[in-house]
Amino acid sequence: MSNRALYLDASAELRRNSGQWSAYESGGHCVVLAGPGSGKTKTLTIKLARMLSEDVEEPRGAACITYNNECARELETRLEALGIEPGNRVFIGTVHSFSLTQIVLPYAKVANMGLPEDYCVATRAERGRALERAFARTIGGHGNPQDWDFTMGNYRRSILNRESAEWRETDPDLAALVEAFEEELRNLGRIDFDDMPLLAVRALQQHEWLQKAILAKYPILVVDEYQDLGRALHRMVMGLCFSVGMRLFAVGDVDQSIYGFTGAHPELLQRLSDRQDVETVRLKLNYRCGSRIVTASGYALGEDRGYEAAEGAEEGTVFFHPCTGSYEHHASTLFATVVPEIEERLPGLQPGDIAILYPAAWIGNAVAEAAQQYGYATIRSDTNALYPRSSRLMRWLEQCAQWSCGGWRSGSPRFNRLAREGRRLFGEALGHDEQLLAFERDLMATLWDRRDGTIALHQWLSELQSIIIAPLIPSCRTVQDEAETLRNFIERCVTGDCKDMTLAQFAGQGDGKDCLNLSTLHSAKGREFKVVIMFGLDEGRIPRNNPSDSAVLEARRLFYVGFTRAKTELHIMYSHLRPSRFVSEVQSRLAEAVQ
């Protein structure tokens, strides 16, 4: 079936939803305000396939920017089903990746970005050294430089014009620290992740020819999760789409903006959708959650947005579990009582269908320890995970492990997908067809000879690192930090807490079917599960103690995001003497609705 036939066939499903169909039929700039479970990813991918087929002539294409690598992988999978693979014509990735690969790397020298020769992305250790030196030069004293990192990052991302009085006068100490930090990075021949969009925005503002070069390659810009992407991306959109002529198709939800601490500003999406030259479409049907969960989610948000469960949706159930004692005791109750009752009520439920969400990673430690005591395998998606789930290299290695543990037989994943992702990871070192063929040949031989799930993980990783990865890393400026993550994990597999881990167990981290999902509420964004257990929802945790008005609003949105991950059952666990104000409100309003 041709690509055109694939998206036309898929588009027939959109006709039944007036909002989705309006987005699909849009002709100019379009913003889709999409509530939870509203089918926004399906709408975005089918619309993108249509625009590539009908509106853009090859070799021109489209750039699709999203919040993180997890979202990018989901979009890639959906587009692959429509016959579209990432490549020269379609960019799919984060705003950092777009900035680096489409603007900074190809144009740094000619656009006079002030970068040293052979610069690359700093590792965490290199970034730490640069901050220490900058701190000593500007702030001084006996404080810990790392304590300034978070605030420094917010300052960099919030005030884009370094020539403005706002930059110099809002916080002179921070302005001086940022400038010294970036100078120290350059002295090391490095840039960091915050540099990528900042350098790209400045270059686009300074060089009209660069704007035209990006437009020539990508006449269409698609943005997913717009509310999370911050001022730098918004400045790019304003310039490329409303000055140069790129066509914009953006999707987002102001109510799901939960990353204020990284520089997200939900009002930017609202401002965009309010423009006279932008068509705004709202998606209000929730295809994910049971009807009672949809109703209760409105109480969780504290606003009636008019969302409705899709026709034929199951009812869904919300359970409240007040607990006594410490979080360790709450976690024991969770696995002694709550989870077994769920499993009895829902026969056929797999562990991977259950997610346990909490406000902070340290609360998840109590859950992880209790899960181990009660014999439940888990996958964590927080700062205490085995390794960052956002790491492209580690996720690629997970897929390679799955292939070696039976995927070669079942076709899940297919080898050509491993090869394609590998080419994207190590593309800088694979510039010629002979190098690409040699990479694929060596990868196949290495994995084929190690098709044994009982192999010690440290052996498998060390051999792949030696044979496949290490020869390529020196030529790859974008994966230095990820290579450091791999080296640290291999050390843990040799002498640390993962020393008994097998290849099969590592592969299981990738598919997750036999593991309960443990995640912070923030890291659960964009995901869905049959059963969600929100754990540790106490006043002082969500929201935190003595919150500002804006902090309360963001905490409520975070509560709402967790609430709307659940399809069938939602469980809320909290200390009975100090429930979160959001929990008490939902409980009260549900009780009123029954009367």
At 119, the amino acid letter reads: Y
- Residue 557 pLDDT level (bands cut at 50, 70, 90): very high
pLDDT at 264: 83
Q: Helices (DSSP H) in 374-456: which residue ranges?
A: 392-402, 408-410, 415-425, 433-448
pLDDT in tens, 262-313: 888 899 999 999 999 999 999 999 999 999 999 999 999 999 999 999 988 8
- Say how far residue 504 (Cα) sits from the centre of its chain: 25
Q: Is 495 annotated as a binding residue?
A: no
pLDDT at 159: 92
Residue pair 315/65 in contact (Cβ under 8 Å)? The answer is no
Question: How close are the terminal C-alpha atoms of the chain, in Å?
Answer: 55
Residue 202 has pLDDT above 90, yes or no: yes
What is the predicted pLDDT for the residue at 509?
66
Residue 1's pLDDT band (cuts 50, 70, 90): low
Total Cβ atoms within 10 A of residue 303: 11
Q: Is 34 annotated as a binding residue?
A: yes
Query: What average pLDDT does range 416-429 have in this prediction?
Result: 90
Q: Rounded to whole angstroms, how far apart are CA atoms 311 and 62? A: 34
Tell me what the mean pLDDT of segment 398-426 comes to: 92
Among the ranges given (97-101, 206-210, 412-416, 505-509), the one the predictor scored with the smallest mean pLDDT: 505-509
Strand partners, 381: 519
Residue 323's contacts (CB-CB under 8 Å, 6 or more residues apart) are 329, 330, 333, 573, 574, 575, 576
Mean pLDDT, the chain, whole residue set: 93
From residue 349, alpha-carbon distances to 129, 176, 245, 429, 473 in Å are 48, 55, 50, 44, 42
Tally of residues, the chain = 595
Separation between Cα atoms, residue 106 and residue 68, nearest integer Å: 22
Tokens standing for residue 201:
């925005």
H or E element at residue 198: helix 195-206
- The verdict on whether residue 94 carries a ligand-binding annotation is no
On whether 312 is known to bind a ligand per the annotation, the reply is: no
290 is in an annotated binding site: no
**Beta strands 516-520 and 354-358, pairing class:** parallel
Per-position b or e across 20-52, b if 16+ CB within 10 A of its CB: bbbbbebeebbbbbbbbbbbbbbbbbbbbbbbb
Whether pLDDT at 462 is above 90: yes
> What's the confidence (pLDDT) of residue 512?
61
Q: In this structure, are residues 341 and 568 in contact, taking their beta carbons and an 8 Å threshold?
A: no
Describe the chain by its helix, strand, coil percentages, rounded to 5: 55, 15, 30
Handedness of CA 216, 218, 221, 225 (dihedral sign): negative
Residue 590 burial (CB count, 10 A): 15
37 labelled ligand-binding: yes
Measured from the Cβ of residue 416, the count of other Cβ atoms closer than 10 Å reads: 10
pLDDT at 313 (0 to 100): 86
**Is 543 annotated for ligand binding?**
no
Which residues pair with residue 318 across a beta bridge?
Answer: 570
Is 316 annotated in a binding site? The answer is no
| pLDDT above 80 for 155 | yes
Q: What is the pLDDT of residue 106?
A: 93
Q: What angle do CA 231, 234, 235 make, to 5 degrees?
A: 85
CA dist list (Å): 12 to 6, 24, 183, 249: 10, 11, 54, 20
pLDDT, tens digit, 9 for 90 and up, residues 573-593: 999 999 999 999 999 999 987
Mean pLDDT, residues 164-192 taken together: 95
Q: Which residue has the tokens 């709550």?
A: 338
CA distance linking residue 423 with residue 107, whole number of Å: 22
Please name the residues in contact with 546: beta carbons below 8 A apart, sequence gap of 6 or more. none
Residue 510 confidence (pLDDT): 59
